[in-house]
A and B are shown apart, each in its own frame.
Chain A
């Protein structure tokens, strides 16, 4: 029995090839994502090993958040220099210290920006090596890395402009030294590095001399890291912890791995979608093969094979196909992963030595799990069907009438209804499981709609067929697409999935864009907007000094200015909360905020306002005392006003005094109101001039901002479309596969229509029409489902006052249908060629 099924497999290898290709594509995508993540990780682990090479023990505060983390003093450092310590280096460092280019006057853009304090003897731990010049000994000097020099276009003894985030201003220094890293590298990973004279750095970063954020210790020969850690721990001041160099490397690597992990998870999710689409293709392949083999299977049954043996035989085939696909996919994935990693490292200018190709056991395990499970799941129903072929079918042609679609449709509905319920549950309540519930709901809806789609196939294909099925060949193509609605529907459903997700993304994006235009085009008193670099985290370390707005306020025609600060490292009544701080009186005027209760005025210290939705949900009223946590500080704030939430302004808002507790003091956004007849363009130019010293800060009128936001959404939609490319290609293969198998099945018919006068071109047209109908049907289903899901999502967002309007991206949607049409034509090329080349006589005589 096993032998018979293996023999059968070899005979059908061509027919199974596309199934294998589908598995290779989805497994390859998945394995590629994992290998990419692991290999990038290895490269970065190498970075942290290099950085911590000479560090035996590191001392850091337990909690370094907020404005005033605990500091080490010179006395602490001396005290910690226990027996076994070779050298101690106090850590004086800051993020967001950005050099400006000497030629354009614009801020340098780099992967990361490092700034440190350095003593007169330079780096004691030997990571940074001086190449030329002298270590900075005066407050006006800095040493910069060769990479920084290259990016900022400055040389030794040149002047360099540097932005200091804590001061919110730009200062000019002299380059006293050019430095590099061990191994002759200009940078570790494309970052900029600026070394200030130690005492000056302490003043700049901490506003206080003789203090350090932490310290690194090197060990004397023969002292182990663990031993040294124990000795140092015994003397640690309160609020600090010690880690070994090794632990620090691991921690840093793990933190980086978490970031890549998110990236890998996103890619893997798309790989999972591709695998899901592959199920449809493989299901169809096995289904058609089993149908074509029913005589052979019946013969086996007539000779005494049990139904279990027949199921086993089909599943064994699936197992082999899955195994072969997974193996090839894993190999392809390793290639793709390594290639992508090399390309990415190059694109990001990561000048690290490669950590080697990393193929973790997870990559191998997942490849086989997905490859084999997907195939076996897909082959399961065909296997059951195969076992139900009656032995008598071997003796005569058993006519199988069209089965009613009723049962299938009821099962489909049984999936769609709970799927929709999950979806609405996920969209109304936001919780920890939201993503899971949402994903599960969408998955159920997909399966349900796929099961319902045979029911829809007839009317939709007829309708579209009436448009494109011209001529007799076209009409025959329409008939062929309709003759097996299940097959047409399953093939189309594979395409539907990708198109649904793309349409969903495009529709939500379009709704967002339209909402933003509506919101910001509304009757507000804001004409000019100042924006911190959107790529920077909103920690107050990137942005602009709110004092610069004072200069803006002096400009002619300016009536009001408001700076907005935000912090995400914060909580309200113990719940993590995104807090904003601004002059509420100005904001009220600018955004026409409606007072629900209390008053909207310039807030003092420890006062806040919230929107009416929050207040209602938490049953807060004016006068209540609320716990506000910012960084490590916890204070009680008084609720002085409640305003009406709108898509523009919502959430808790604090007064400007609260910014003292924020980690960074820079404003994230600024808004400017002008007199009615003021020249907006001229004002924008003048504000830009004022803001030019703040790296990455952009100034624009509101329409420019709207356009910029729109581009972000367009980019997201494009990125999603590209990531769904593999799923779309598998769907395309699915159409080719179905057509090829159908052609084999209909060989005699093809011979006949040729014998009674259909030309080769006619055959090509006939198959082309069938193909286009399948593709367009799948696309229309996808577009419809995508719009439906988007409508649900947008409604939820409108209820949350995040959006105002549901809008359809007509251009995108029409393009998708057009592309599906082209897809259909492409999918038909090979099958149609094969069909047209059939010898008429052979075809008629084909058994």
Chain B
């Protein structure tokens, strides 16, 4: 890595998150699996970025590395002006409190807390007070007004995921990372969530990175990054579902050709 890139990493920048020449290798010797092979990526601030790719392409790994949930083998990752690579556990904790939010496929709400308490949990953990106007806006946007006192077990999957989205939004993080947020939902609930994420980008300027394998989901994004075999192979901006599907098909053909050669 050049000195210039290092300098870039440490200076304030437009990108909400960035990866520079990121490698991720699991295991060693015979069992070695290379999940990422020198991925460089800038996530634009205030944009909705989708990461797509077939199973095993490294899309989830890339997101985990960007979010500081996983360490990189080589290369560097930054969120906002914070260099994630090499942060201590307390540094990572601070990062999670201040800069990132998560939405998971499995919702991951705490069963002991009500919907409202779940939404406020990141702020409570960080010891911060919620901005009441913002909280109201978020709750109105996700449409949970009458369900705030319910426990997760009393909510449908779609409702739970809306709580999870509100939880990610409420602390106004630099980036929200969404890992297959509609993977566990029926298509209608999924569409609600995607629409809601889209609005938070368009109306509130929130930055979102979403991993998905669903072309329809990706079509809500401003930009779609395609990964295959640990590398970024393509990207399209302002995608439609059809364009994404076509791109996937052509990538599958390429992958097939690769396999034939290999």
Residues of A at the B interface (CB closer than 8 Å) are: 399, 401, 471-473, 475-476, 479-480, 482-483, 748-749, 751-760, 762, 840-841, 844
Contacts and interface: CB of A to CB of B under 8 A. Distances in A.
B216 interface: no
Contact of B102 (A472, A480, A755, A758): A755
Contact of A756 (B111, B122, B153): B122
Contacts of A399: 153
Contact of B121 (A401, A471, A756): A756
Contacts of B121: 472, 753, 756
B125 A758 contact: yes
A483 B112 contact: yes
Nearest to A399: B153
Contacts of A751: 108
B108 A473 contact: no
Interface in B109-166: 109-113, 121-122, 124-127, 153
A629 to B, nearest CB: 71
B82 interface: no
B64 interface: yes
A483 B112 CA distance: 6
Contact of A760 (B64, B89, B109, B110): B89
A483 B124 CA distance: 20
Contacts of B242: none
B57 interface: no
**A-B complex: 6 closest residue pairs judged by Cβ atoms:** A757-B97, A479-B112, A472-B124, A759-B93, A757-B96, A752-B108
B69 A472 contact: no
Given A472-B124, A472-B125, A755-B108, 19 more contacts: A399-B153, A401-B153, A471-B127, A472-B127, A480-B112, A483-B111, A483-B112, A749-B108, A754-B96, A756-B97, A756-B102, A756-B122, A756-B125, A756-B167, A758-B125, A759-B89, A759-B93, A841-B64, A844-B69
A38 to B, nearest CB: 53
Nearest to B70: A841
Interface in B65-103: 69-70, 89-90, 93, 96-98, 101-102
Contacts of B189: none
A757 B171 CA distance: 11
B196 interface: no
A396 to B, nearest CB: 12
Contacts of B89: 759-760
Contacts, number: 70
A268 to B, nearest CB: 43
B106 interface: yes
A476 B153 contact: no
* Among B98, B109, B110: residue with most chain A CB under 10 A: B110
A749 B104 CA distance: 12
Nearest to A480: B112
Interface in B161-209: 167
A748 B106 contact: yes
Contacts of B64: 841
B14 to A, nearest CB: 25
* Among B70, B97, B108, B109: residue with most chain A CB under 10 A: B108
A401 B127 CA distance: 32
B132 to A, nearest CB: 19
B207 to A, nearest CB: 17
B93 A757 contact: yes
B122 A757 contact: yes
A757 B125 contact: yes
Given A483-B111, A757-B96, A473 B69 contact: no
Contacts of A753: 110, 121, 125
Interface string B15-34: 00000000000000000000
A476 B96 contact: no
Contacts of B97: 756-757
Contacts of A754: 93, 96
Nearest to B109: A752
Nearest to B101: A756
Nearest to B99: A757
Contacts of B112: 476, 479-480, 482-483
7 contacts: A401-B153, A472-B121, A475-B124, A483-B111, A749-B111, A752-B110, A755-B102
B159 to A, nearest CB: 14
B69 A841 contact: yes
B108 A759 contact: no
Nearest to B111: A483
A844 B110 contact: no
Contacts of B109: 752
* Among A753, A760, A762, A841: residue with most chain B CB under 10 A: A841
A758 B110 CA distance: 13
Contacts of A749: 108, 110-111
* Among A753, A756, A841: residue with most chain B CB under 10 A: A756
B113 A479 contact: yes
Contact of B125 (A473, A760, A841): A473
A749 B69 CA distance: 15
A473 B106 CA distance: 23
Nearest to A482: B112
Contacts of B98: 757
A294 to B, nearest CB: 16
A758 B109 CA distance: 14
A840 B106 CA distance: 15
A295 to B, nearest CB: 16
A398 B126 CA distance: 34
A476 B70 contact: no
A755 B96 contact: yes
A844 B104 contact: yes
* Among B69, B90, B122: residue with most chain A CB under 10 A: B69
Contacts of B108: 748-749, 751-752, 755, 844
B247 to A, nearest CB: 28
Contacts of B111: 483, 749
A548 to B, nearest CB: 75
Contacts of B101: 756
Contacts of B113: 479
A752 B122 CA distance: 10
A794 to B, nearest CB: 42
Contacts of A760: 89-90, 93
A751 B109 CA distance: 11
A755 B124 CA distance: 14
A401 B154 CA distance: 10
B246 to A, nearest CB: 32
A482 to B, nearest CB: 7
Interface in B205-230: none
